[in-house]
Every structure is written in C-alpha cells, then in structure tokens.
Structure 1
Amino acid sequence: MTAANGTPEANWLSHRSNPETPASGPGEDWVTPIVDEYLQEARDFRPAGAVHTHPPRILVLYGTLRPKGFSKLLAFECARILEALGAEVRTFDPLGLPVRDPEIQEHSKVVELRQLVYWSEAHVWAASELHGNLCGTFKNQIDWIPLNSGSVRPTQGKAVAVLQVCGGSQSFNVVNTLRLLARWMRMACVVNQSSVQKAWKEFDDDGRMKESSMRERVVDVMEEFIKFARINREYSDLLTSRYSERKEKEEKGRLLTQAEKETAKDAALENAKKEKANE
C-alpha cells in the first residue's frame, strides 16, 4: 500500500523509530515489558469461531501540526501499544491537509486520508483541547471523511477509541465531543477513555510517556480496544444490517446516494403537480 502522493508507506509508520520494527520508539521501551508481563491475554485473544485471522487494521488520528504536539505523542504511544498487541497500525499526519472544501477532493492528502479510512477496520482518535473543546486540526480530518461514498459507508460499524490531552487540569470536553462525532460517523465507541491532564508533565524528552496513573489508563484503554476491535469486526456487517437498506437494495438494486433520493423525491413532487393540474 502506497500513499496517494507516491510517498513510501513509512510515512504511516512514523510512530516507529525503526520502520521495520513494530512497536519501536525513541528512548526507553516501556511498552514491550508491560505487554509481555501483563497483557498476554489481550495479545492472544481471538473471538471463538473468528473468520478474520489477519491482524486488526487500525488507523490512528491525532490533532496537531507540531512535530512534538502532545496529541501526536499520545497517538504514537497508542500505536506502539497496539502493534505490541498484534495490530497492524497506520498513523495519518494531518500536516498539509487543506481545510474542508468539496471543490478540492482530489488533493493528495485528502485522497491519502480516505484511502487509510477505507483500509482500516478500527480507529484511535487522540485529540487536544483548545478553548474548552476539540481543536480544528482534528475536526478537519473528520470533516474530510465522507459518511458515504456512493453506497459505501467507510466508517460504519468500525470500532473507535477516544483519548484527549489537556494543557491544564483534567477535562472530558474533547472525549465527549469525539464520542458524539463517532456516533454521527456510525462507529462503535469503546467504553473506556483517557484524558491526560497537564500533558506537558507526562512526556519525557524523547516523547515517551512517563510512568504514572495517566500512562496506566492509556494502557487500559488500548487493552480494552484491541479486544473490542477483534470482536466487533466479526459482527459489524450483521450489526449494521438494516431492514430499510435491505428493502432499498431489493427494490433499487443498490443503496441510492442522498442526491439520488432527493432527485427522485423532486421528480415525484413534480409529477404529482402535473397530474393535479390535468385533473
């Protein structure tokens, strides 16, 4: 898999210090010892009768353009934990992604983001709080992800975990907003979540999380998430199978786009007016 602009796959593996080594990172490796000692059950878990046997495909999004923004550092730690737990992880760099504009949907960063969304089976969203709520850098990424593309809904039924970083005292404004966004994107949000307060105190000079209750909570969230993601992908098609959509497919041969439905509705109204005028 290569990026739309021809850049190497390693761009999506920037959470690794060595692109060839999953879960690698700068500084001290605290992830591997924890996974080896405490998270074997989560690493080895497979739902009974699982059809999907490949590593879960996880897309990690973060909400900063700064090289060492705290939501990026948090997202990278999540990515490393998930790789140590057996997932295939890609991180998307929002630098260069234009502000949402339907006229530039072929922009290389837009195409790249949407490719990753289609590729993924589950997401991790790590965002920062600005002026009491979600920063625009993160929201812009979600705005570029279509609810549907033709009759395909690229996020429907996928699992997502939500985390946030705070510059000051702990807040849950952003994770609450992320849950709202996840619902609108028709995604299944895991119960656990993480809000890292005073994020500037929680990371060392290498960008790694220091040992603390904040770090333990992040591990908890990723442990729950990987198990949920494995279960959810087995049943997402069943859980999102709806009577109205099955009926539409049977009658129309496929799911219609909203534009097609509106056109059909307008045509029906116009025909009704003509029939009434001819009475």
Structure 2
Amino acid sequence: MRRVIVSHQVSDLPNVDPTLFHAPTTADFSMMGASTHRPRFLLLYGSLRDRSYSRLLTMEAARLLEAMGGEARIFDPRGLPLPDSEPEAHPKVVELRALANWAEGMVWCSPERHGAMTGIMKAQIDWIPLSQGAVRPTQGKTLAVMEVSGGSQSFNAVNQMRVLGRWMRMLTIPNQSSVAKAYQEFDEDGRMKPSPYYERVVDVMEELYKFTLLTRDVSSFLTDRYSERRESTEELSKRMNQRTI
C-alpha cells in the first residue's frame, strides 16, 4: 500500500518513525478492489428459551438482510460451553469462530436480564478472539446491536454491547433497536407484528447493510495501525539480527 508522508508535519514529531507514518488520503481507498459476492452477516442471540424473543427478533433481522441481498447465518448457542471451561477445539467453539471469520458484519441481540445482557450473549462474544495469528475475526467489521425486554423500554443491554463492540474493534453503526414488552410484539407464528419497533429493526438492518457495503473492502486499511507496523518492523529486525549471528 502506498504511504503518503507529509514531511513538514513529521519533522514536528520526533517520536514518530517517518518511514512508518501514514497520512491517509482518499486515494488510498481508490486503490482497493470491490467485492462482488453477497455481504455476509453473522447473527448472535442471547437466550435458550423455547420461545426466545431475542431469537425471534434475530430471525426477523436475518430475513431483512437476506431480502436486501445479503447472506445471513444465525449461530445457535445451545451446547456452547462457558469460556475457558473446554478447549478451543470444542465443536461449538470451532463453529462460532469459523462463522466470525466468514462474516463481514454482525448482529448481536440480547434480552435484558438484571439490567444487563445475558451470560449466554457474553459467553459467545468471549469465545471470539480479537485476533488469531494474521486473522482478525471482528476487527474492522460492522456491528448492529439490538435488545428485547419484558418491561418498559431500556437500553442497558445495547449500551453494554456497544462497549464490547468497541473493545472488539468493530464498526458499530449509530442506529440500534430496543423492543419493550417483547411478548406483545410477536404473533403465534413467531413473526414480528407491524409497529414502530418493527420499522426500527428495518432501519437498523438497512443501515448495517449500507455500512457493510462501504467498509468491507477497506476494513484491513481501516485497522492498519502505526503502533502495529512499528512492532512488526521491530520483530522483523530482531529475526534478521538473530539469523546473522
């Protein structure tokens, strides 16, 4: 990737390596290709109940993403062990991580329980590493957050998931969905009834889809960091020195 150096600015930064410093420009984006495959989305939900409203809401989100032209896959958390209770080779962990690597965007949907996201939701996120060697399962990928609650509308769960999304270095979209009294919002067949809540879900998925189209081909550029370039350069230098000894 071409590095654009602004010499008069770098000269004022004595602690910055000018060979690694990059002043981004719009030209950087024009150098990147455009994907032609359908946008890929992984959807996670945080309840194991037979009639799980977070699962039903997640299914509605998946239908919307598919209708827009995307490819949506929903992970079933049943059988996923608690973090660190089983080795990483556990089949459900392998399945979850493979889906995280495959996806270009994600949807996290949790019930609010005791004023927070559920442990089931958090366990899924905790099993996804920030990096696996050269692979970054979440970094630079888009994220939409949603929650359901049994009482009045709340934003505790979505706020928590936003913190996690930021920690996982994801591009969390501005819009979000919080469905109050979720038991009233779905019919007997598990489909969401027409309402402002449903329209908000449409808005959120539409926004997620747009952000994914905008960023999926440039995610590696967006997560390319000076500090990591410096560390890689130092590590390479150490290896070269060891070979010459």
- TM normalised by structure 1 equals 0.72
Pick aligned residue for 2:35 from 45, 52, 56: 52
2:112 aligned counterpart, secondary structure? strand
Matched AA of 1:94: P
* Equivalent-residue separation in structure 1 for 2:206 and 2:72 (angstroms): 15
Q: Does 1:247 align with 2:230?
A: yes
**Cα shift at 1:234:** 2.2
> Counterpart in 1 of 2:220?
237
State the SS of the aligned residue for 2:72: strand
Give the structure 1 partner of residue 159 of structure 2. Answer: 176
**Structure 2 CA distance, aligned partners of 1:253 and 1:213?**
55
Q: CA deviation at 1:67?
A: 2.9
**2:59 paired residue number:** 76
Partner of 1:269: none
| Residue 117 (str. 1) matches residue 100 (str. 2) | yes
Aligned length: 208
Q: Which has the higher mean CA deviation after the structures are superposed, 145-154 or 92-101?
A: 145-154
Query: Within 2, Cα distance between the matches of 1:90 and 1:76?
Result: 10
Task: Select the residue among 148, 153, 159 that pairs with 2:136.
Answer: 153
- Greater mean alpha carbon deviation, residues 216-225 or residues 100-109: 100-109
Q: Could you tell me whether the CA contact under 8 Å between 2:101 and 2:136 is conserved in 1?
A: no
Q: Unpaired runs of 5+ in structure 1?
A: 1-46, 255-279
Superimposed CA distance per residue, residues 169-220 of structure 1 (whole angstroms, 9 cap, x where no aligned partner): 0000000001000001110100000000000000000100001111011001
Q: Does 2:211 correspond to 1:228? A: yes
Partner SS state of residue 218, structure 2: helix
- Alignment-derived partner of residue 186 in structure 2: 203
Q: Are positions 1:165 and 2:137 aligned together?
A: no
Q: Per-residue CA shift, 1:113-150, capped at 9, x if unaligned? A: 00101111110111110011111110010011111223
State percent identity of aligned pairs: 57
User: Which deviations, in whole Å up to 9, do the C-alpha atoms of 1:201-255 show, x marking residues without a partner?
Assistant: 000001000011110110011111100111011221111111111122233249x
Q: Which residue of 2 aligns with 1:277?
A: none
My pick for the range that moved more, 234-243 or 135-144, is 234-243
